[in-house]
Amino acid sequence: MLLQLLIAFAAGSSLPLAFSPFSFWPVVILSPALLIFQLTFIDNRKKTFLLGWVYGLGYFGFGVNWIYNSLHIFGHAPAPVAAALTGLMIVTLSLFIGATLTLYKTLMQLYPGRWSMWSLPFIWFAIEWLKGWVLTGFPWLSVGYAHINSPLAGFAPLVGVYGLGSISILISLLMVMWKQYKNPFSLLLIVLIGFTGFGLKQVSWTETFGDPLNITMIQGNIPQEMKWRREDRQKILDIYWDATKLNWNSDLIVWPEVAIPGRSEDLQDVLVPMSMQASENNSNLLTGIVVSDWMKREYYNSMILMGNHQGEYHKRHLVPFGEYYPFRQLLSFMRNYIDIPMSDMRAGPLEQPLMSVNDIKLGVSICFEDVFSRDINLALPQANILVNTSNDAWFGDSLAPHQHLEIAQMRSLETGRPMVRSTNTGQSAFIDHKGAIIDIMQQFKAQTLTAEVQGRQGATPFLTFAKFQPWLALLILGISVLLVFIWKSAAISHKS
């Protein structure tokens, strides 16, 4: 058993190599295949759970350990607290892998035979979906993201990232079946799936709409430790404003998340002249700011549109501990250990009007929201262009900004929409409607980038399918749990 655990940990540790910035996507097929193969040496469900859990420790331990830096370096949490919270996150995420293998192994024991092996891709789909919902969800590093540049990427506009992950696991399973049974059908099916995915990549599921927008992004590269110092506010505004004045020929100029450090109520003497100048230059400025209502004690992480067109968007999906404290009565003591400015926000309403520029509707999201298909899809199919703004300075020089950009690419691929992704320190990029990067800025440099972005209309099959995805995932989980329950009840009755 020790050997199997060591192999599982090594296989899990290799999996982050499939994601950006390494992007060696074959690992996302080979690594799970090695895990599945180890199951053939285990017949005990407790050991099966342990195998999956240890695989998850390697997977997430190397894949999301950047959380420690975010908490310790930028959130000023003491090293032991940051390490404990990061470890708790990794251990919790690993439980989902353990649960997946346990359900799978139990079904194979309940219904012996090769057919039961085919249940794994469905269980993987359901558990990954669950991981994206529990405690607001953390679907980071779902296996489908590693396929953004693989032949299988063509399936994303049909089945989304979770469905794509299931197809990936199916190929891993087929590799194990070929290894065990030497069945040429398994290899034939792998080749057929690969060619189908490649063919689907050539399909455009949406069509162009309206005239292209000339859009400029400004990456201010403001260090996190400087961002909220009141004495540096004017210096920060000057950095963005000086770059903006050189780009008034653009239809839309985009500043990143909370580019203006402060509350909207305190900055009206700045915002009003900015809006007037944008209008005078026949342009529009979209910027992040904290929209506040001091009397109601309400604060929103927001984007506001100024100039020829007006509008605002309040972030709906807040980051626990970063933007609000969950279970406030129980966990408010965490404020003594984690010092994050503006960490008492209010979530915006689900229904919010879309902003428009020259009749092109913008589907705006802020930072963490683009990790969730369900959040992005709220603006669709009405939105013609997606805009995501972020402050990835929280991640420092880690894997996270690269992984985050890859996630944004998947949202474009799923929805058939181009995305304008504006960040404070990188990676800011223009992404086309097939998830490919058109142009990108360097990390940790103050830069501007301009591109013509063509809006699109219509709905990919995934947008229609996504409405039923939660029910499908719950149905799969429900059937799996019900079968396990029936089996255990029958076993108890047989013993008695």
* 380-415 pLDDT, tens digit each: 999 999 999 999 888 889 999 999 999 999 999 999
The predicted structure's pLDDT at residue 136: 84
* Residue-level pLDDT at 278: 97
How long, in residues, is the chain? 496
pLDDT of residue 67: 92
Which strands make up the sheet holding 284-293, listed edge to edge? 311-314, 298-307, 284-293, 252-254, 213-219, 447-453
Give the pLDDT of residue 456. 98
Q: What average pLDDT values come out for the chain (496 residues) when binned by 10 residues?
A: 92 98 97 95 91 98 93 84 93 96 89 78 92 89 97 95 95 92 89 96 96 98 86 93 97 96 89 96 96 83 96 92 62 56 79 96 96 95 97 90 97 98 95 98 96 97 80 68 64 56
Determine phi and psi for 433, rounding to 5 degrees: -75, -5
Q: Point out the residues that are catalytic.
A: 257, 315, 367
What sections of 15-119 are H helices per DSSP? 27-38, 45-63, 66-69, 79-110
Give how far the C-alpha of residue 440 lies from the chain's centroid of Cα atoms, to the nearest Å.
19
Q: Token pair for residue 381?
A: 């199919």
Rounded Cα distance between 223 and 263, Å, is 19
pLDDT of residue 372: 95
CATH 3.60.110.10 region(s) of the chain? 208-459
Q: What is the pLDDT of residue 467?
A: 73
Question: Whole-prediction pTM value?
Answer: 0.92
Please give the CATH superfamily to which domain 208-459 belongs: Carbon-nitrogen hydrolase (3.60.110.10)
The single-letter DSSP state of residue 311 is E
Vertex 225 angle, CA 220 and 231, to 5°: 80
List strands edge to edge, sheet with 360-366: 355-357, 360-366, 385-390, 419-423, 429-431, 437-440
